[in-house]
Amino acid sequence: MPFLLPLLALLLLSAAPTVTEVVTSMSDCDQYFLNQAPPQIGGILEGGIILKQNRYKPICQTLRDERIFVTLYDTTNKIPVFSAYKYTGIKDIARQNQWKIEPQLEEIKLKANMEMEEEGKSYNHQADNKNYINDRGFQKGHLLPQSYGWDIIAKRATFTLTNSVPQVDSFNSKSWSYVESCVKCVLDEYCIDTNGKIEGFVVTGAQPSINNILNNKVNIPTMLWSAFCCYSSKQKTWLAGAHWGENIPDGGRVLQTKTLDELRLELGEKFKAFPESQCPLTTTVTHLYPPLSKFCKCPKPI
């Protein structure tokens, strides 16, 4: 029957593994960075060079032979350092929710990404679903949100454990969710390039803790941070902003929009979210929030 064909296609897609490409350099997947320049993170990634290549692995996140976004993954802490994406708008598609692992990090060949986990085996270089079974109030928190995915493939590609960190339930569902929604609104409304197309660059990362570990394996980050930048033909200028928040139970906090320079001071002098770019360092987009207030969750000025 014709109406069964879309359902069959969806079932086949849900069974497809997330086939990652663990590459040797950030330049192998630099199309998701503004001006092809990756963030600069002191002691980890400087001048586009990964300083500890045995520990930090660049991943071109790929699904069904389509590259979607890029992640720098910390195989010691079992969480990503950051994920970066070129946002181009979205289609209205239902959320997908099947978490996968990345077999290339284990240097093995699998018929399906979940095969080892189903056999009860453990992974040496990444987290798996078993590591997130807990009663401490944490859940798998996306770095690149699934809601930013252009289509069903892009959304499903975000459901890899190399794009997630242990995030406090209420922080993930409240304050951080509001940040993701606000940034998406700004991207949709103002990040229109000179060709009339939506285009914005987003990078989201996690600051690992010293010794707070979930199930003796996965580092629980102390905070999450996010930055975005784009050229706005509407405003005839470059726009940028940043957010960060402690990974603690949400008590009605409001994460104010900050500047890229304030984020640099928070993360360290060597940090640059968008090096070699025209992204403004000392201004935000808060002046654009009032027209968005009816349908966005952007923070009100303090």
H helices of the chain, in order, are: 4-15, 115-118, 152-157, 169-173, 175-190, 260-267
First to last CA, the chain: 57
Q: Does 100 or 141 have the greater pLDDT score?
A: 141
Residue 22 Ramachandran class (φ > 0 left, ψ -120 to 50 alpha, else beta):
beta
Mean predicted confidence (pLDDT) in 238-261: 95
**Which pLDDT belongs to residue 21?**
73
Under 8 Å between Cβ of 228 and 197: no
Place of tokens 């994920």: 83
273 pLDDT above the threshold of 50:
yes
Q: Centre a 10 Å sphere on the Cβ of residue 239 and count the other Cβ atoms it contains.
A: 22
- In this structure, of 65-69, 258-262, 269-273, the range with the lowest mean pLDDT score is 65-69
Asked whether the predicted pLDDT for residue 253 surpasses 50, the reply is yes
Examine the pLDDT at 97 and tell me if it is beyond 80.
no
Spatial distance between the Cα atoms of 85 and 144, rounded to a whole number of angstroms: 7
Q: What is the pLDDT of residue 105?
A: 85
- Winning range, highest mean pLDDT, from 3-7, 13-17, 101-105, 281-285: 281-285
What is the tens place of the pLDDT at every residue in 100-121? 888 888 764 444 444 444 445 6
Whole-number Cα distances in Å, 151 to 8, 52, 95, 96, 294 = 17, 34, 10, 11, 25
Q: How is residue 26 annotated by DSSP?
A: G
Is the per-residue pLDDT at 241 higher than 60?
Answer: yes
Residue type, 167: Q
Closest CA to 243 of 145, 139, 137: 145
Q: In one letter, which amino acid is 206? A: A
d(CA 242, CA 226): 6
Task: List the CATH code of the domain at 4-292.
Answer: 3.40.570.10
Q: Which two tokens stand for residue 84?
A: 């970066």
pLDDT of 91: 74
Q: Mean pLDDT over all residues of the chain?
A: 87
